[in-house]
C-alpha cells in the first residue's frame, strides 16, 4: 500500500492515524463497503488511531504494553496458572482472559485480551486491545498472531531486496530507492503468485526467483507484434519460465 521513509523512532498516534487515513481512504474509494481490520504491534496501538478507527467503522487489534494496573487485574488468574503448572509438572501452560481497561489518555474503556503463559522460567503476559468480539484465545492466537505472515512479506522487502540501503545524504534520493525496491517487490510477488499453487515456485524466496528466472542469459528478439526470448538449451528452468511468460503475455504465448 505504501512505503514511507521516516525517522527511526516509535511513531506517534497522529502519525499512525495519518497513515491509516490515507491507506484506508484509497481502499474505500474502490471498495466502499468492504470490512477492514487493522492489525499491528504495540507501536501502533495509539489512542488517536483507535479513536479514528472507531469513528469510521474500522475494526482493529493492536498490541498493548503492560503496566502495573493490568498486572494487578490479572494477578489472581496469573497466580492460579502458576500454581497449576507447578502442581502438574507441565513444561508450559497457557490461558487467555478478557477484561475492560481504560488508560488515562483514553476517552473510554476498551476490550483487552491477555495471554498468560507459565513456564519453568516464570510467567509471561502479553496484551492486545481490540474492537472485535469473540473468544479470547481465538482473537489472540488466530487473529492477532496471524499478522506474522504479513511481517514475513516485510522481511522479504528488507532482507532480499535491500530496502534498508538508504545511505544517500538527500532524503528524496532515499525515498526514490524505496520506491524502486517496492516496484521490484511487486514484480517478484506477482511472479510467485502466477506459479502453480502446488509447485515449489509458489513458496520460493525472492532471492531464488531473481537468481533462477531473472538473472539468466537469453537472446531477446523484438518483433512488430511480440517479443521473443530465446533461452539456452541447457537452461534448467526453461519450463517454468515459459509458463510464467505465457501467463503474463497479453497476446498469449
pLDDT at residue 159, rounded to an integer:
84
Q: Quick one: cell of 209? A: 526467483
User: What is the β-pairing status of strands 110-119 and 92-101?
Assistant: antiparallel
> Looking at the domain assignment, is residue 184 inside a domain?
no
User: What is the β-pairing status of strands 37-40 and 227-230?
Assistant: unpaired
**Residue that finishes a domain, picked among 84, 114, 145:** 145
Domain shared by 22 and 120, yes or no? yes
Domain shared by 20 and 111, yes or no? yes
> Looking at the domain assignment, is residue 8 inside a domain?
no
Question: pTM of the predicted model, to two decimals?
Answer: 0.75
pLDDT at residue 250, rounded to an integer:
60
Q: Which residues of the chain have pLDDT under 70?
A: 1, 250-253
Q: Domains in the chain: how many in total?
A: 2
- Rounded (10°) angle between helices 13-30 and 47-55: 30
pLDDT at residue 164, rounded to an integer:
82
Domain shared by 222 and 139, yes or no? no
pLDDT at residue 248, rounded to an integer:
81
pLDDT at residue 130, rounded to an integer:
95
Range of the domain at 111: 13-145
Return contacts of 238-244, CB within 8 angstroms, 24+ apart. 240/195, 240/199, 240/201, 240/213, 241/213, 241/216, 243/195, 243/196, 244/191, 244/194, 244/195, 244/213
**Residue that finishes a domain, picked among 145, 163, 186:** 145
**Residue that finishes a domain, picked among 145, 178, 201:** 145
pLDDT at residue 153, rounded to an integer:
80
**Sheet containing strand 122-130, strands side by side:** 37-40, 59-64, 122-130, 110-119, 92-101
Amino acid at each position: 500500500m505504501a512505503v514511507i521513509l521516516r525517522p527511526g523512532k516509535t511513531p506517534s498516534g497522529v502519525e499512525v492515524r495519518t497513515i491509516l487515513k490515507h491507506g484506508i481512504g484509497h481502499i474505500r474509494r474502490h471498495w466502499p463497503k468492504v470490512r477492514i481490520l487493522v492489525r499491528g504491534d504495540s507501536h501502533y496501538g495509539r489512542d488517536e488511531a483507535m479513536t479514528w478507527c472507531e469513528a469510521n467503522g474500522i475494526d482493529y487489534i493492536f498490541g498493548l504494553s503492560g503496566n502495573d494496573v493490568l498486572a494487578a487485574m490479572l494477578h489472581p488468574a496469573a497466580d492460579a496458572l502458576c500454581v497449576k503448572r507447578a502442581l502438574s509438572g507441565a513444561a508450559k501452560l497457557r490461558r487467555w482472559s478478557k477484561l475492560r481497561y481504560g488508560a488515562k489518555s483514553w476517552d473510554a474503556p476498551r476490550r483487552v485480551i491477555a495471554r498468560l503463559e507459565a513456564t519453568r522460567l516464570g510467567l509471561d503476559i502479553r496484551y492486545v486491545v481490540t474492537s472485535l468480539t469473540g473468544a479470547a484465545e481465538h482473537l489472540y492466537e488466530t487473529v492477532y498472531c496471524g499478522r506474522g505472515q504479513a511481517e514475513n512479506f516485510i522481511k522479504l522487502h528488507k532482507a532480499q531486496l535491500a530496502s534498508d540501503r538508504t545511505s544517500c545524504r538527500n532524503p528524496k534520493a532515499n525515498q526514490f530507492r524505496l520506491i524502486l525496491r517496492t516496484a521490484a517487490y511487486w514484480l517478484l510477488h506477482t511472479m510467485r503468485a502466477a506459479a502453480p499453487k502446488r509447485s515449489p515456485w509458489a513458496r520460493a524466496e525472492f532471492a531464488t526467483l531473481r537468481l533462477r528466472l531473472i538473472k539468466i542469459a537469453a537472446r531477446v528478439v523484438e518483433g512488430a507484434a511480440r517479443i521473443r526470448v530465446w533461452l539456452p538449451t541447457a537452461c534448467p528452468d526453461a519450463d517454468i519460465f515459459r509458463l510464467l511468460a505465457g501467463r503474463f503475455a497479453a497476446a498469449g504465448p
